Amino acid sequence: MPSPARTFDTEILTADAGGVARAVAFLRAGALVALPTETVYGLAADARNPEAVAAIYTAKGRPAENPLIVHVAGLDAAQALAELPPPAQALARAFWPGPLTLLAPLRADHGLAEAVTAGRSRVALRVPAHPLARAVLQAFGGPVAAPSANPSGRISPTRAAHVLAGLSGRIAAVLDGGACPVGLESTIVGFEGDAPVLLRAGGVSAEALAEALGTPLRAAAATGVLTAPGQLPSHYAPRAPLRLDVTTPAPGEIWIGFGPGCDDAVLSLSVTGDLSEAAARLFEVLHSADALGQPIAVAPVPEEGLGVAINDRLRRAAAPR
């Protein structure tokens, strides 16, 4: 049993040099700070500090076997922690900073707290593109562990208010950077030997990865060896039940539209049918629908480009719990 989380008067830090400096001071002191990234808000702690890393698991109610992504300022800092095979380096050069996480074998001298990788021999690494996340990483000067800043299993946060709704009183501060522009978590790619394997659909589409690599990626399910243990069937869950691919909502359902022709929808992912806009709005719309406390029905979203990651999150939100 994790010990009960300490209670805090969670500070809201402003998106300026003072807010960044205060966030860095909290990280140095071993405290937890939610930071905006281009994907979702992350719950950040010093990845080398075992107590700080343990506090992440406690604050989120996260199972101990679900490891954390380590955020660094650039490719050199990533290579100080892990052995990136050549295709990983190629992907890093193509997509970092940005919404791509690479899973690679730890170096012997990594210096990370063991709980960061949940005792595994590979570490998940990401260089975020958000200017506030970059400013914090550069000033902090070390690796930062950060899962999404939501209670385990709930809807991911794309605004400071979402972080506070889930974790207020459990963390020292949130740096308020407004809405996250990508809105979906990073794509996770692992390597079997040198062969890239897609472990989680996310903010970089499989099509974009294939173009950079010159070859399509294998899906994790096809190999069965590499896994991202956080990919549970039920996740991103609103409190109310959620139905997918709905073109005619039932009475009493909150209908979330996509594209033209959803004029009766209370909320829309994108009225024009733009997948980037839908990705950016997905979690915000789910938070809003959930606040209304009625069953949720979502219009079909095409299974292409960012639509693959959007549908992945929607299927997990709809899964039986």
Residues at the interface with Mg ion (CB under 5 A): 148
In the complex, minimum distance from the CB of residue 267 to ligand TXA, in angstroms, rounded to a whole number: 23
Q: What is the DSSP letter of 115?
A: G
Q: Which stretch binds ligand TXA (CB under 6 A): 146-154, 208-216, 264-272, 308-316?
A: 146-154
Q: Which of 141, 23, 24, 30 is nearest to 76 (CA)?
A: 141
Q: Which stretch binds ligand TXA (CB under 6 A): 144-152, 212-220, 271-279, 312-320?
A: 144-152
Rounded Cα distance, 212 and 214, in Å: 6
Cα-based distances in Å from 297 to 77, 110, 244, 246, 284: 44, 46, 6, 6, 15
Q: Are 224 and 78 in contact (CB under 8 A)?
A: no
In the complex, minimum distance from the CB of residue 9 to Mg ion, in angstroms, rounded to a whole number: 25
40 belongs to the binding site for ligand TXA (CB under 6 A): yes
Q: Are 279 and 204 in contact (CB under 8 A)?
A: no
**Is cis: bond before 87, omega within 30 of 0?**
no
Residue 39 binding partner per list ligand TXA, Mg ion, none, with a CB distance cut-off of 5 to 8 Å that depends on partner kind: ligand TXA
123 belongs to the binding site for ligand TXA (CB under 6 A): yes
In the complex, minimum distance from the CB of residue 39 to ligand TXA, in angstroms, rounded to a whole number: 3
181 belongs to the binding site for ligand TXA (CB under 6 A): no
Residue nearest to ligand TXA (CB): 230
Residue 40 binding partner per list Mg ion, ligand TXA, none, with a CB distance cut-off of 5 to 8 Å that depends on partner kind: ligand TXA
In one-letter notation, the amino acid at residue 8 is F
E strand or H helix that includes residue 195: strand 195-200
Q: Which stretch binds ligand TXA (CB under 6 A): 6-14, 36-44, 107-115, 307-315?
A: 36-44
Measured CA angle at 41 (ends 221, 187), to 5 deg: 25
> What is the binding site for ligand TXA (CB under 6 A)?
37, 39-40, 42, 66-69, 99, 101, 103, 117, 120, 122-124, 126, 146-148, 185-186, 188, 228-231
